[in-house]
Structure 1
Amino acid sequence: MIRPARPADASAIAALQSHLDAPSPELLASFAAVGACLVAVERPGGEPVGYAITVGEGDVHLAELVVDPDHRRRGHGRTLVDGVVARCDPGTRVTLLVAVDNDPARSLYESIGFQPVAYRPCFYERGGAWADALVYAYDVPE
């Protein structure tokens, strides 16, 4: 189940963000001004087990998506991406970036219909090393 984030979710979302390789606390602090945040919960009234932050008007960028490792492989990531797409108007382009070596995420996005459209060398910093990223895009059907 997904729903829009609520102010009471802030600490749970911040804890979830710590699971990202390259978290952006600034984005988390400002998403309400620049985009939207959906959370995945396993039951109504439950604590968030994942979230997706989008930014942009018109075309949308999926800036962060994370699911707690203890709750992965239960469909939360797919439900969040589907929720992002469902909130877009037909013809909207949804983009995202993913590390080239993040096979589970790439598989998820490709299974939904996202296609790689660009390559970003040395995009993510991981403990002093750099990882390349792929830009994926999905055009919401008319």
Structure 2
Amino acid sequence: MDRDSLAKLLVNLTKSQEGILTQDSLVRGFESVLSTLEDAVNDAPRAAEFLGRIFARILIENVIPYKQVWHLIREGGEEQGQLVNSGLAADVLGVILDIIKSEKGDPFFKDVCASSDLRLENFRPPPTLKKPS
């Protein structure tokens, strides 16, 4: 199954009238995936990109609120916030934002950033400490 199909499947299962997959279950699943993303990148270097594509589709289809996804990514990792420290949070977010901007256009993109209180600086890894010479 390709990644775009997986994203569509998650959207359809969550939005189905039968309620096959609840929003809470989907969020818990994403929390689990984010907690292992650093390990996944070792085996699949494009894992952050693929996850970003899935998140983008979930957001574009209004399955999970933007603010909640930003929180999941910012707090994600084996330890809370570890994805920010490793730079993977910025990688995932960058893919999401690129897709939203390309699919929905600049006005929509700017509105999402403003209305969801997205602060890019919260996703940047901290500056590395220089070793004393």
TM-score range relative to shorter protein: 0.3 to 0.5
In the superposition, the TM-score normalised over structure 1's length comes to 0.34
In the superposition, the TM-score normalised over structure 2's length comes to 0.36
Q: Larger strand proportion, structure 1 or 2?
A: 1
Structure with the larger RCO, 1 or 2 (CA within 8 Å, 6+ apart): 2
